[in-house]
Structure formats: C-alpha cells, structure tokens
Amino acid sequence: MRRISFALLPVVIAACVAFCGCSQADPTIDVYADVTVLSDELVAVSVRVEASSLPDGEYVPFAFYPPLFSSRETLPVTDGAFAAACPDGFDAGEVLDFRAGGDVAAYAQSGCLLRVCPKRRGGTLSFCFDYTLRVPVNAMRYGRDEFALRLADFLPRLCLFGGEYREYDCLPIGDPFAFDAADYRLRVTHPDGMTLAAPGEVAATEGGATVYLADARDCTLVLLKDPDTAVASDGAFAVTAYARDEAKARSAADLALSSAAYFREKIGAPVRDALTVVVLPFYAGGMEYCGLVYVADSLSASAASACVVHETAHLWWYDSVGFDQVAEPWKDEALAQSCMFAYFCDKLPPFGYTLVESAVAASPAVTDFRRPLSEYGSAADYHRSVYCAAATKLYALRSLGDEKFFGALSDFFADRRGGVAK
C-alpha cells in the first residue's frame, strides 16, 4: 500500500478533516424484523433487537424517528425547506398501537429518543417492539407519494457510536445520525403491484422478500409502484437502479458502477459489493443509507450525475467508515464530495473542473466549517460550509500529487474500514 511520511500525513488529513483515532465497537447488535406493508400508507412492524456487552447506564437509549412526523412543530425540516419537503402541505404521520416487550421493563418516548429500562443487566438483552405506522405524504426521507413509500429510519436503533451511548435530537439540517453497525434480518410482505428496493442480500418469497444486511448503520426500504429498473455489474460490484424513467435508471446504474470502480482502485474495497440506487421524488438532492441511496428525480442531468457519484462515495465514507454526523458533520461529507470532484476531474475534466470552481466561488469567506449541526443557521450555510468550503480545501491537497493524496486516503480508509472515526 502506498504511504506518505508521518510528517506529511497530518497536513493532508488535518487541513479539512482533523481525524484522531478509531474505535471498534465492543457491543454486538442483531436486528430481526417482520415488515408488513398493509396498504399505500399503513405498515405493520414487529422488531426484535438483540444486543450484548452494552455500556452501563440506568436505561438503554434508542433512536426512533416516526413520532417526529406527527406534528408540524416536531417535523425535522426547516421553514425554508418546508415547501419542497411537503409540497401538498403538512400531513401527519402516526405510530399506532406501540408495544414493548422482551427485556423491556419500562420505556419513555421523548422526541426521537426512546429510553428503555431493561429487566436485567448483562448478557444478551432482547428488546421487542411492535407497532403500526401511518406513513405521511411528503417528499422527505420517511414518507410517501404516488410513486414511492420511503421507509427510512423506521426501525428503533440503539444509540451507540464507538461502543458509547450518544443521544442526539433529530435536527432539521444535515444528516443527524451517529450509529454503530448491526446485522439486519428482515421479512418483508407487500401487496402485488409494489416493487421492493432494498440493500444487502434480497431473496424473493411468496408475497414479498427476505433481506439480510450485515454490518449496517441503518436499514432502509423503499416500495415502488411500476418502476423502471436497470442493472450494471463489473464482476466485482453490482448496481441496481430504480426510477420512473428508464433513461434515468440506466444512467444512475452505469454512473454508480463506474464511480465505484474508480473509488475501489483509488481507496480500497468497501464493506459491500452492491449498491441500490433509487431515483425518486425527494426534497433534497440525495441521501445515503447503507447499501441504498436516494437521488432526487427533479435534478438536472448534470446535478443528478454529481449526486449519484457523491452518494456512491458514501459507501466508503459513512457506510464502511462511520462518522459522528451530528458533532462533526463535515468529515464524511467533505470526503464524499472531494472524491466526487476527483472522479469527474479524471473522467470528465471540463465538468469536474467546473464543479470544483463553482464550490470554491460559493464559499470565499467560509473558515468555520468545523461546527456541529446545531451551530448551522440554515441549510444554505451548511451547504456552503460543508459541501463547498470543507470539500474544496480537502480536494486542494491533491496538488501534493495523486500518490500522496490518494495514499493518505487509502491508508486512513484501510485503518478504519468496518469501524468508526472518532
């Protein structure tokens, strides 16, 4: 593996990212869920979370986001983005008939935090939750429209990062998530006429499918109505893309495959050998999940291309290496964005150079991008600081030469692959 001197490595990394060490989580987490799509809007969920070697504490915290969609006041979206996120106005989601069992002695819900008092301590604990979701109409991560039922963040997740409890509110800017990986085993049942888009190993069953997703920080499902599908593979990596338009599905599949091959060569192999890309109505440009990404179908062709490559890069920076996206949101986003710059500057130079120049021009006075999400005043401030200032400062270090630039990134990736950056 290519290496650069210890004297130069901090210069390359610390200029934009300031990483310091890695922690491999000690707890083990297994998630088993039955997901039954009852209709276009109702989903019944029965989930069991088994966890061992949990940290000591009076309670065990889970993140559970669907309750936030029950009112406009708790909806995780800024006023400026509300019209795009809810083009038909606010529609309340509901969590119906929530029940907890297994090793749950008592629980309390506050915002997106579900605090569980366990019946016992030590060993493997089993937390069981049963509920029905009424999924609201919107264009957000979790929601539905005439084409897609988006089940992002619909399962309770242990608030663990680096083996330590991290309790974060769901902020309306950025990606307010920080989780250790779990193994997910899902059985999904859905009506005829719906197509399941899912990450990991998917096997068709009568009336649905099983999904196995290993070492994942989340597990997101999308149910689609009459999508066009495109598949691309180079033997080492495979992409399945879905869209309402055949050309968009094909473009997304081919571009995700090409960029994944580039990143494998430059950085190393990610923890997964497949990616699902869903081009769908979405109020933001794109969104990364483990093994599955969203791309907004309203983007121009050039913006969609940049989005596909950026979200593919998150297989390396978020999926394979975890980051605290609440306290240090610039890290994974600057890495993914700078990798997107590199891909286009090499593969489509005029377009790539334009992307970099536009990002530099958009952030001439930004110097304080190393902020937690709570300190960003607006989505525009966040975008200028993270996707423009932080990313271009990191990418500017490519002037040191590709061997040093990609050597530092590949070394960093190899050291933390499958763990978290702290």
Residue 271 contacts by C-beta under 8 Å, 6 or more apart in sequence? Answer: 215, 315, 319, 320, 417, 418
User: Is 3 part of any domain?
Assistant: no
pLDDT, mean of residues 32-52? 98
Which token pair is 355? 């992307």
120 sits in the region (left: phi over 0; alpha: psi -120 to 50; else beta) called beta
Q: For residues 209 and 203, is the Cβ–Cβ distance under 8 A? A: yes
**In terms of residue numbers, what domain contains 362?**
9-20+323-421
What three-state secondary structure class fits 172? coil
- pLDDT tens digits along 75-91: 999 999 999 999 999 99
- Amino acid (1-letter code) at residue 142: Y
Average pLDDT, stretch 388-413? 97
Tell me whether residue 329 is in a domain.
Answer: yes
> What pLDDT score does 259 carry?
98
What's the pLDDT at 365? 81
Report CA-CA distances (Å) from 326 to 13, 93, 321, 413: 20, 25, 15, 21
Q: What DSSP state is assigned to residue 136?
A: P
Domain count, the chain: 1
> Tell me, what's the pLDDT at 94?
98
Helix 349-362 to helix 301-313 angle (10° resolution) is 80
User: Is the CB of residue 278 less than 8 Å from the CB of residue 295?
Assistant: yes
Report which DSSP code applies to 312: H
> Has residue 333 been placed in a domain?
yes
Q: Is it the case that residue 239 has pLDDT exceeding 90?
A: yes
∠ CA 151-157-159, nearest 5°, is 140
Residue 406 lies in a domain: yes
pLDDT digits (tens, 9 = 90+) for 182-237: 999 999 999 999 999 999 999 999 999 999 999 999 999 999 999 999 999 999 99
Q: What is the mean pLDDT of residues 245-256?
A: 98
- Rounded-to-integer distance, Cα 68 and Cα 72, Å: 9
Model confidence pLDDT, tens digit, residues 77-135: 999 999 999 999 999 999 999 999 999 999 999 999 999 999 999 999 999 999 999 99
pTM of the model: 0.94
25 falls within a domain: no
Q: Report the distance separating Cα 62 and Cα 125, nearest Å.
A: 14
- Does the residue 349 lie in any domain? yes
Helix intervals (H) in 164-279: 246-266
Q: What is the mean pLDDT of the chain?
A: 94
What is the pLDDT confidence band of residue 154, given thresholds at 50, 70 and 90? very high
Cα 111 to chain center, whole Å? Answer: 20
Residue 242 within a domain: no
Residue 131 inside a domain? The answer is no
